[in-house]
Amino acid sequence: MPDFEFDLVVIGTGPGGEGAAMQAAKHGMKVGVVERMKMIGGACTHVGTIPSKALRYAIFRMMEVNRSQQFLDRGLFVDTPFPDLLKAAKGVVQKQVLLRAGFYERNDVPVIHGSAHFVDSNHVEVTDADGSRKMVRAKYFVIATGARPYRPASIDFSNPCVFDSDTILGLNRDVKSLIVYGAGVIGCEYASMFRNLNAKVTLINARDKLLEYLDDEIIDALSYHFREHGMLIKHKEEFEKVECTHDGVIVHLKSGKKLKADALLWAAGRTGNSDGMGLDKVGVEPDSRGNIPVNENLQTAAPHIYAVGDVIGPPALASAAYMQGRFASSHMLGNKDVAPVKNVPTGIYTSPEISSLGKTEKELTAEKVPYEVGHSLFRSLARAQITGQAVGMLKLLFHRETLELLGIHCFGQQASEIIHIGQAIMLQPPPHNTINYFVNTTFNYPTMAEAYRVAALNGLNRLF
């Protein structure tokens, strides 16, 4: 006899699990969730999106004071130690946990604590930290177990100078120099943060460009501003071994170079949390990175078992995970009220911030689409001059004949917010998805939104 019986059991309480559980509960399903951590919220709340963005904001506030002539003239200079900046971030994590725990409570979704593994197609066994076990039966399952940092066996992560994106949140001292290995989003974001804290940062990239899926102009801007801020970037380099010394690390590269620093942040990839889940009992086989294959409806090889979020691989974003969770539950309910997840914008919280949606120039050129470009430089906008955030640009790509908006690429302060104005237009059906909206609409002044009007006019002026 099972200890619990549900219509749906969701495994994991990150954004993917929450989206799935709430959508199903709101539509009348009897839902239970399983979470192996003491607190709900997932990697997103405890070691991913939330603490990294809260830490970034704490650093940013300190920088704003230290870079402002207004404060410098009054002798104000703030030097908050790293552990205190982390404390600010932890406050946000607690608020998020409380808020999200309330969602499960209010919607009568019990949280069963422990690690879930399948025993057969309709049962998972949940093993708590104290070893106690509960059998849970359900008609449907959503696996939303997320991912963890990939750790090569040759690196000693127990060394106090070696970190990954989980353990860096436990750094209990200031570091004067840092090597960031891996120039994906995590590597670039943390490299920015530590450079803003004045650490000497070396960013090592295995490829020949940073974040190469972005528009070239944005990649160039990011590389330029990283270097302008004093970051050292090494492209096309791979590590051979990491040597830990009494006061830091030496990273040996395959090219023969040796780099020394107070600490190493390993930020090269993540592995899906699919091991130890008894997936062989239900005919589901993860790939070599632990990712679970799914079809367009997010169903695994067993159609009553869905998988969402980081455990299914790219885009591996909190934003997408939540929507995938909602879509999966909506699909099992037979509803069509949640659309499949596509057109996911990118929001990268480096300095400068980056956000984009739609096609890049490279893609449009390869597809032979006749397009034109409109630019707006932040330094020419009144709002950016007032706030002193003049680094940045909005770039619109649009069809030369129909004026349809095809791509939006932005860098600079608030880029991840600014993108959504364009997104609202870009995703309208024709003929409402053109840049005409930006030239025929009155924007508040002074705002950053004005960048859309400036960029649209700039692009229209290029047409002949």
Ligand X SMILES: Cc1cc2nc3c(=O)[nH]c(=O)nc-3n(C[C@H](O)[C@H](O)[C@H](O)COP(=O)(O)OP(=O)(O)OC[C@H]3O[C@@H](n4cnc5c(N)ncnc54)[C@H](O)[C@@H]3O)c2cc1C
Name residues contacting ligand X, limited to 51-70 (CB under 6 A): 52-53
Find which of ligand NAD, ligand X, none residue 37 binds, CB within 5 to 8 Å per kind. Answer: ligand X
Q: Do 385 and 379 contact (CB within 8 A), yes or no?
A: yes
Asked if 214 is part of the footprint of ligand NAD (rule: CB under 6 A), the reply reads no
Residue among 182, 248, 392, 422 that touches ligand NAD (CB under 6 A): 182
Closest by CA position to 328, among listed 148, 147, 140, 145: 140
Rounded CA gap, 241 and 256, in Å? 11
Which one, 313 or 374, has the nearer CB to ligand NAD? Answer: 313
Which one, 185 or 308, has the nearer CB to ligand NAD? Answer: 185
Find which of ligand NAD, ligand X, none residue 115 binds, CB within 5 to 8 Å per kind. Answer: ligand X
Which one, 12 or 286, has the nearer CB to ligand X? Answer: 12
Which one, 32 or 146, has the nearer CB to ligand NAD? Answer: 146
Residue among 67, 227, 236, 289 that touches ligand NAD (CB under 6 A): 289
Residue among 8, 9, 10, 17 that touches ligand X (CB under 6 A): 17
Binding residues for NAD(+): 182-189, 269
Closest by CA position to 110, among listed 42, 21, 46: 21
Q: Which span sits near ligand X by CB under 6 A: 34-42, 60-68, 238-246, 451-459?
A: 34-42
CB of 276 to ligand X, least distance (A): 7
Closest by CA position to 9, among listed 82, 84, 86, 112: 112
Rounded CA gap, 136 and 190, in Å? 40
Residue among 221, 267, 277, 391 that touches ligand NAD (CB under 6 A): 267
Find which of ligand X, ligand NAD, none residue 14 binds, CB within 5 to 8 Å per kind. Answer: ligand X
Q: Which span sits near ligand NAD by CB under 6 A: 34-42, 58-66, 315-323, 398-406?
A: 315-323
Contact residues for 425 (Cβ-Cβ < 8 A; gap 6+): 405, 432, 433, 434, 435, 437, 438
Binding mask 175-214 for ligand X (x = CB under 6 A): -----------x----------------------------
Residue among 9, 112, 251, 317 that touches ligand NAD (CB under 6 A): 317
Which one, 96 or 433, has the nearer CB to ligand X? Answer: 96
Asked if 344 is part of the footprint of ligand NAD (rule: CB under 6 A), the reply reads no
CB of 73 to ligand NAD, least distance (A): 35
Binding residues for FAD: 53, 310
Find which of ligand NAD, ligand X, none residue 413 binds, CB within 5 to 8 Å per kind. Answer: none
Residue among 17, 42, 51, 187 that touches ligand NAD (CB under 6 A): 187
Q: Which span sits near ligand X by CB under 6 A: 10-18, 59-67, 214-222, 355-363?
A: 10-18
Which one, 206 or 301, has the nearer CB to ligand NAD? Answer: 206
For ligand X, the binding residues (CB under 6 A) are 11-17, 34-37, 42-44, 48-49, 52-53, 115-116, 144-146, 165, 186, 273, 277, 309-311, 316-319, 321, 347, 349
- Chain residues in the site for ligand NAD (CB under 6 A): 150, 182, 184-187, 189, 206, 267-271, 289, 314-317, 347-349
